[in-house]
Amino acid sequence: MKKAFLLGFLLFIIQFNFAQIIRTTLPDTISYWNKSNKIGLDISQITFVNWNAGGNNSISGLLKGNFIREYSKKNLNWKNELIFRYGINKQEGQEVRKTDDQFQINSAFGYRTDTLSNWFYAGKFTFNTQFANGYSYPNTALAISKPFAPAYIFLGVGAEYSRKDLKLNLYLSPLTQKQL
What's residue 121's pLDDT?
Answer: 96
Residue-wise pLDDT tens digits, 2-27 = 666 665 665 555 555 554 556 666 66
107 closest CA partner among 79, 133, 83, 85: 79
What's residue 41's pLDDT?
Answer: 95
Residue-wise pLDDT tens digits, 156-178 = 999 999 888 998 989 999 999 99
The rounded distance, in Å, linking the Cα atoms of 100 and 87 is 5
Give the β-pairing of 139-145 and 119-129: unpaired
The rounded distance, in Å, linking the Cα atoms of 170 and 178 is 20
Looking at residues 35-44, what average pLDDT do you find? 95
Angle at 99 between CA 95 and CA 100, to 5 degrees: 145
Q: Is 93 left (phi over 0), alpha (psi -120 to 50) or beta?
A: left
**Beta bridge mates, 100:** 87
Residue-wise pLDDT tens digits, 80-114 = 999 999 999 999 889 999 999 999 999 999 999 99
pLDDT greater than 70 at residue 125: yes
Angle at 123 between CA 122 and CA 125, to 5 degrees: 150
